Chains A and B, each alone.
Chain A
Amino acid sequence: MLRKSLVVNPKDSVAMVLENASKGDRIQTPRGEITLLEDVEFAHKVAIVDIEEKEPIYKYGEEIGFAKTAIPKGTWIHGHNTGCDRGTQKR
Chain B
Amino acid sequence: MSMNFMGYRRSNGTVGIRNYVVIIPSVFCANSTVEAIADQVEGVVALRHPVGCTQIGLDFEITARTLIAMGNHPNVAAVVVVGLGCERFTPDELYEGIKASGKPVVKFVIQEEGGTANTIKKGVAAAKEFVKLASKMKRVECDLSELMVATKCGGTDATSGLAANPAVGEACDLLIAEGGSAILSELNELISTEEMLARRAVNEEVAKKVYSAVYEIEEVLRSKIDERYPGRNELISPGNFTGGVTTIVEKALGGVHKSGTSPIVDVLEYSTSPQPGQKGLFLMKYESQDGEVVTGMIGCGAQLVAFTTGRGNPTGFPFVPVIKVTGNQFTYKSMQENFDFYAGDIISEGMPVEIKGKQLLEMMIRVANGELTTAEKIGGDELFVIARR
Q: Which residues of A contact B (CB under 8 A)?
A: 6, 8, 16, 18, 41-45, 59-60, 62-65, 77-79, 82, 84-88, 90-91
Contacts and interface: CB of A to CB of B under 8 A. Distances in A.
A79 B215 CA distance: 24
Contacts of A41: 244
A45 B232 CA distance: 20
- Counting chain B residues whose Cβ lies within 8 A of the other chain, the interface size class is 20 to 34
Question: Chain A CB within 10 Å — which of B192, B241, B250 has the most?
Answer: B250
A64 B247 contact: yes
Contacts of B162: 6, 8, 16
A65 B232 contact: no
Contact of A65 (B194, B195, B246): B246
B347 A64 contact: no
Given A16-B162, A60-B161, A88 B232 contact: yes
Contacts of A91: 215
A16 B244 contact: yes
Contacts of B157: 43
Nearest to A60: B253
Given A79-B241, A82-B247, A91-B215, A64 B253 contact: yes
What DSSP secondary structure best describes chain B's contact surface?
helix
Contacts of A43: 157-158, 243-244
Contact of A84 (B215, B243, B247, B347): B247
A64 B241 CA distance: 13
B207 interface: no
A84 B254 contact: no
A62 B196 contact: yes
A82 B249 CA distance: 12
A17 to B, nearest CB: 9
A86 B251 CA distance: 13
Given A84-B233, A90-B195, A44 B347 contact: no
Nearest to A65: B247
Contacts of B195: 86-87, 90
A84 B241 contact: no
A45 B244 contact: yes
B246 A45 contact: yes
A64 B246 contact: yes
Nearest to A64: B250
Interface in B148-190: 157-158, 161-162
Contacts of B248: 84
A84 B232 contact: yes
A8 B248 CA distance: 18
A91 B247 CA distance: 19
A65 B253 CA distance: 12
Question: Chain A CB within 10 Å — which of B191, B194, B233, B244 has the most?
Answer: B244
A57 to B, nearest CB: 8
Nearest to A88: B232
Given A16-B244, A78-B241, A86 B249 contact: yes
